[in-house]
Structure 1
Amino acid sequence: MGKETENGGSQIFEIQKSEELGRYLVAARDLAPGEVVITELPLVFGPKAMFDPEATMPCVGCYKPVFTDVGERCSRCGWPMCSGNCPGLTDPRHHGMECDILSARPECVLDNMAEYYRHDALLPLRCVLLQNSNPEKWKQLIEMQSHMEYRTPGSDLYDEADEFIVEYLINNFINKLEDGMKKKYFKEVSKELLHTICGIIDTNALEIRLPDGSELNALYATTYLLEHSCIPNTKHVFGLFSKDKTELYRITLKVVVPIIKGNHIATMYSHALWGTQARRQHLRDTKYFSCKCQRCSDPTELGTYLSAMKCFGDDKGPCDGIHLPEDPLDDETDWACSKCSVKVNNSQINMLISQMGEEVENVQMMGGSVSMLENLLCRLSTFLHPNHYHLYSIKHSLIQLYGRQPSYMSEEIIDKKIRICKDLIAITTTLDPGNARLSLYSAVLHHELHSALLILSKKAKSDGSLKTVDEIIPLLNEAKICIDKALVSLKDDIQETSGNKLYEVIEESKKEFVKYCKEKKVNI
């Protein structure tokens, strides 16, 4: 099986099957960065609950956040909406069809709204409605993996789905429908089917962040076949703006690093800046498999040492070696020092890393000041390799404060900022050479490095004299390369709010940079 390019060119991928991976995609020919592998509309999509549903909920028609207690209500089913004119209310892909089902519960309430209107239940409902409304889409959807073997009664996943989605839909709506209405909308609707749908959504749905802050989950007929790798070779973007409303949420999957014919086409379902054990645990919990990719199999994580610890030492104290897992694919592995005979068991490492993670999170959530971040960095550096992902996180925060606050503008601080930026860029580029997952991190790092080089070019020399044009040209050349790299790394993120905002900030910096070069009569 394969796929033709849109212009009728050669086949791009083939669908293959194995015992271990199930169905997956391989390149049917050599693929170059920028080539589109897949572009498709979702089979079905639906809103997720807002972060604080007692305060705001998504409109059922267009998903804009509306105030929970004062927002308008759909005149038929009572669910929160932005206004009676919202076009999504009558659109069958949005609220148009489900409204008939949700209207089976006539009451409208103003108390305990978050429990009464469960937005996470709308996507499973929209899925089962495809049975009659679009049998072709239903056939594609029901073929997706649900991993029900892991979601048995009594498991957390089953019990949660049972209470918040399955029982909720059956008791409040489906059981209240007359037989004629049931037949009109469903070929079959049962607890078992709804649980299977919940499994399909949890395993295969992709999250779409909308510009106004709400989020959707969507299922795609071909994209779901993509396997995971902690070194992804593709990146996907969603169409969030379109005059043609039927084109909304189209996914486009692009190649980001060269893929040789026959190689697997992969995406990433975890966080690229987590260490191996954290990534593998997350994938086991959410995707039900243990990753064995090149990065997970390498104790050094491609030479970045992102999970490495400093030697714990024995009675005589630590040496200057580093602890790495002997077998990163074994959850019970010992961590051995690279220079001495000391070994530490995995549970000790896990406990320490978990405690440190909480400390880092607490400081970040408090909007950590330079002194707080530096103190934490100093403390954790006693135990962690300088490249450890907890230290990466602290340093990434620090470089956005150095050179931007009056008391942190000295030449020594700026030199330190440049050094940290270059270290973090090296890690980021190694882990994600195609900017598939870390484009925003990469953009911030290159922008901050640009800014530090610019400050350095303006600083007086130690004798108080200003730098000559010849002395500042190398700094400005490097600053120009950095700002261009920052903008290039965001080229696929401009539709997303965070990417768009960052792009605008960096674009403004580039204009100021060009102006400064003109003033100095420097041609970069």
Structure 2
Amino acid sequence: MHRQAFSHFTSSDSISIRDFSMASCFKLVQNPEKGRILVADRDIPTSQLILEEPPCALGPQVDVDKLVCLSCFIEIDGRFQCSLCSIPMCSKECASDSIHQTLECQVFGKMGLILENYKPLMRCVFTLRLISTLRTTRDPNLKMLINDLMDHNSIRKLDVSSWDHFQKSVTNFILDNLGLTKFTSREEINRLIGIMRTNGIQTKSRNGHTQLVLLYPQMAILSHSCICNARCVKKLSTFNHIEIYAQQHIPKGEEITIQYTSLMNSTRSRRQNIKQSWCFDCHCPRCCDPSELGSELGTLHCPECNDTEGYLRLIHPLAYDSDYGCHKCQSMMSQKTVIELENDLESSLNKLIHLRGQKYVEALLHQAELTKRSNHFHPNHYLQMRLQSELISHLGNIPGYFYFELSDEMVRLKRDLCLHFIEVFSKVDPGFSDWRGTTQYELANTEATLAQRSFDSGTIPLKEFQTKLEAIITLNQEAVSVLEVEDEESHAFEIGLRARKNVRDLKDIVRFSEFL
């Protein structure tokens, strides 16, 4: 992945993006200010697939502290070993996996390497596989793509503690413990570690047992923007492929961008994360605006103002040490104080994670009331939105809080939360996004519940009931169009299937109601 302000590719001009399999709608160009970027080669409509790519390397994250199968990545006890290389695997089937057999199995098998303890090897698997890919691939474009990725090691070396950790866990282990000095070099290992840290995608394994890092060299070309026009979809069930879709209409000549960070964060914490992880300073429109494009996701209430109209925002949003200032009374609050307030609320939210079911919802509702009374945060603050997101996903969907058990007031509360969530995040993440699909599905369910209750009680006539159902069908159809591209084993895809069923059922109700 590369910086917003400068490409993570080197200055080599030898790569032709036209050689890529999905290159019909984009091209690689040299921007005088940013370096290499991907731009639309024609108008790209919303939801179109732009790029599909398998990983060129994957493995456990470097901080893994357990023995895992290098094919399915479940935790193992080490009793079963691959007959060709003696590396512990979970089964004969996984030991026969093509990725394992063509990469680390070849190295260990040919060199006759046998270890007393294989657990430290887990931290090196990604790097070893990337080295093996570079040695064995017959695709010159793939090799060129990997070699031209930036590592930012000149910056990373300044963090001595982190640099030493990778030296000990990966570099020294490969060279000294494994003795692979003829296979690779310290310089190459450190460079590939830097490429991994700068360009790798972190995710859980398909079974959820292990945190993985994967490298997609084509996707790594895409620039970051905190208000992007493209969306990444991880397909763990289809051999860890990744797909890039147009999140909104992308005109010909416009740069294609994705988000590297979580949407639900403030400018201060988001920019610090970008700086630490990808070594660049984001200057996107969202980061430059103290109100974050009117979303107010990092805004607090001013304690000096007597009404609710005084808000504290970053005075200089592009300065990492900026304090907060009130636009109304000009009073200030130190960044340290803001961080303390946010840490307190985040700590309170994290303490609720161990709760389940009805107790969790009750605790969320209680915390929402406490946060409202404290009057520290703007209603749109990202921690408030995190709390609302949890309520949206649980109200109506768990025992004790199923829709038939909710009062009209509680159903309307969930509806209002959905509408508020869509309103806020549409300002910073417009278009064909997964959160929109899941939230519209939840909104449709609240509207359906309220419409049915109003019709059953005689509050609304048949014609109005039918009109409401048509609008609810549209909400579900939009959710389906967003979520049908998700991984087939994901929760988001399952919600898309439910939305599709809702469409069928609601259309039947509309047809049946014609006879009433």
1:352 to 331, 341, 345: 341
Say if 1:300 and 1:465 are closer, same or farther in 2 by CA, change over 3 A: same
1: CA distance between counterparts of 2:459 and 2:25?
Answer: 60
Q: What does the per-residue CA deviation read over 1:27-49, in whole Å, with 9 as the maximum and x for residues that have no partner?
A: 3444333444444444x212225
Do residues 303 (structure 1) and 294 (structure 2) align?
yes
1:71, 1:80 within 8 Å by CA — same for their partners in 2?
yes
1:2, 1:15 within 8 Å by CA — same for their partners in 2?
no
1:81 to 89, 92, 95: 89
1:47 to 51, 59, 78: 59
Q: What SS does the corresponding residue of 2:213 show, helix, strand or coil? A: strand
2:417 to 416, 420, 424: 420
1:88, 1:96 within 8 Å by CA — same for their partners in 2?
no
**Residue equivalent to 1:434:** 431
**Residue equivalent to 2:368:** 377
Say if 1:239 and 1:369 are closer, same or farther in 2 by CA, change over 3 A: closer
1:312 to 268, 279, 303: 303
Relative contact order: is structure 1 or structure 2 higher (C-alpha 8 Å, sep ≥ 6)? 2
Q: What does the per-residue CA deviation read over 1:134-172, in whole Å, with 9 as the maximum and x for residues that have no partner?
A: 373444322210101122176233122112211222222
**Residue equivalent to 1:326:** 315
Say if 1:411 and 1:10 are closer, same or farther in 2 by CA, change over 3 A: closer
1:473, 1:522 within 8 Å by CA — same for their partners in 2?
no
2: CA distance between counterparts of 1:364 and 1:427?
Answer: 24
1:295, 1:302 within 8 Å by CA — same for their partners in 2?
yes
1:37, 1:255 within 8 Å by CA — same for their partners in 2?
yes
2: CA distance between counterparts of 1:235 and 1:301?
Answer: 20
Q: What does the per-residue CA deviation read over 1:105-153, in whole Å, with 9 as the maximum and x for residues that have no partner?
A: 42455xxx6xx25423111112223453237344432221010112217
Q: What SS does the corresponding residue of 1:80 show, helix, strand or coil? A: coil
1:391, distance to aligned residue in structure 2 (A): 0.9
2:76, 2:90 within 8 Å by CA — same for their partners in 1?
no
1: CA distance between counterparts of 2:202 and 2:465?
Answer: 46
**Percent identity between the aligned chains?**
22
1:459, 1:467 within 8 Å by CA — same for their partners in 2?
no
1:308, 1:388 within 8 Å by CA — same for their partners in 2?
yes
1:509, distance to aligned residue in structure 2 (A): 3.6
Q: Which runs of 5+ in 2 are unaligned?
A: 1-14
2: CA distance between counterparts of 1:370 and 1:154?
Answer: 42
Do residues 506 (structure 1) and 499 (structure 2) align?
yes
Say if 1:5 and 1:483 are closer, same or farther in 2 by CA, change over 3 A: farther
Do residues 212 (structure 1) and 233 (structure 2) align?
no
1:482 to 475, 479, 503: 475
Partner AA of 2:206 in structure 1: P
**Residue equivalent to 1:128:** 131
1:518, distance to aligned residue in structure 2 (A): 4.3
Partner AA of 2:490 in structure 1: T
Do residues 155 (structure 1) and 163 (structure 2) align?
no
Which moved further from structure 2: 494-503 or 334-343?
Answer: 494-503
Q: State the superposition RMSD in angstroms.
A: 3.2
Partner AA of 2:387 in structure 1: I
Say if 1:205 and 1:70 are closer, same or farther in 2 by CA, change over 3 A: closer
2:267, 2:287 within 8 Å by CA — same for their partners in 1?
yes
Say if 1:335 and 1:141 are closer, same or farther in 2 by CA, change over 3 A: same
Do residues 190 (structure 1) and 178 (structure 2) align?
no
1:45, 1:216 within 8 Å by CA — same for their partners in 2?
no
Aligned pair count reads 489
Partner AA of 2:107 in structure 1: I
Partner AA of 2:197 in structure 1: D
Q: What does the per-residue CA deviation read over 1:302-338, in whole Å, with 9 as the maximum and x for residues that have no partner?
A: 1111111111217xx5663111112211122232212
**Residue equivalent to 1:164:** 169
1:51, distance to aligned residue in structure 2 (A): 9.8
2: CA distance between counterparts of 1:428 and 1:320?
Answer: 21
Q: Which runs of 5+ in 1 are unaligned?
A: 243-247
Do residues 340 (structure 1) and 329 (structure 2) align?
yes
1:384, distance to aligned residue in structure 2 (A): 0.8
Say if 1:88 and 1:144 are closer, same or farther in 2 by CA, change over 3 A: farther
1:102, 1:173 within 8 Å by CA — same for their partners in 2?
no
Say if 1:522 and 1:306 are closer, same or farther in 2 by CA, change over 3 A: farther
1: CA distance between counterparts of 2:515 and 2:147?
Answer: 62
1:5-154 aligned at under 5 Å gives the runs 12-18=26-32, 21-42=34-55, 44-49=56-61, 54=66, 57=68, 59-60=69-70, 63-69=71-77, 72-86=80-94, 88-89=96-97, 91=98, 93-103=99-109, 104-108=112-116, 116-134=119-137, 136=140, 137-152=142-157
2: CA distance between counterparts of 1:36 and 1:322?
Answer: 41
Which moved further from structure 2: 420-429 or 21-30?
Answer: 21-30
Say if 1:168 and 1:509 are closer, same or farther in 2 by CA, change over 3 A: farther
Q: What's the TM-score, normalizing by structure 2? A: 0.84
2: CA distance between counterparts of 1:428 and 1:132?
Answer: 45
Which moved further from structure 2: 322-331 or 71-80?
Answer: 71-80
Partner AA of 2:379 in structure 1: P
1:370, 1:398 within 8 Å by CA — same for their partners in 2?
yes
1:422, distance to aligned residue in structure 2 (A): 0.8
Q: What SS does the corresponding residue of 2:420 show, helix, strand or coil? A: helix
2: CA distance between counterparts of 1:52 and 1:169?
Answer: 16
1:389, distance to aligned residue in structure 2 (A): 1.0
Q: What's the TM-score, normalizing by structure 1? A: 0.83
**Residue equivalent to 1:457:** 451
2: CA distance between counterparts of 1:352 and 1:80?
Answer: 47
1:421, distance to aligned residue in structure 2 (A): 1.1
1:249, distance to aligned residue in structure 2 (A): 4.3
Say if 1:139 and 1:293 are closer, same or farther in 2 by CA, change over 3 A: same
1: CA distance between counterparts of 2:22 and 2:341?
Answer: 55
1:515, distance to aligned residue in structure 2 (A): 4.2
2: CA distance between counterparts of 1:334 and 1:7?
Answer: 48
Q: What SS does the corresponding residue of 1:323 show, helix, strand or coil? A: strand
1:369, distance to aligned residue in structure 2 (A): 2.6
Partner AA of 1:169 in structure 2: I
**Residue equivalent to 1:263:** 254
Say if 1:450 and 1:251 are closer, same or farther in 2 by CA, change over 3 A: closer
2:235, 2:487 within 8 Å by CA — same for their partners in 1?
no
Q: What SS does the corresponding residue of 1:95 show, helix, strand or coil? A: helix
Do residues 391 (structure 1) and 392 (structure 2) align?
no
1: CA distance between counterparts of 2:471 and 2:510?
Answer: 13
1:332, 1:345 within 8 Å by CA — same for their partners in 2?
no
Partner AA of 2:296 in structure 1: Y
2:455, 2:465 within 8 Å by CA — same for their partners in 1?
no
**Residue equivalent to 2:284:** 293
**Residue equivalent to 1:245:** none
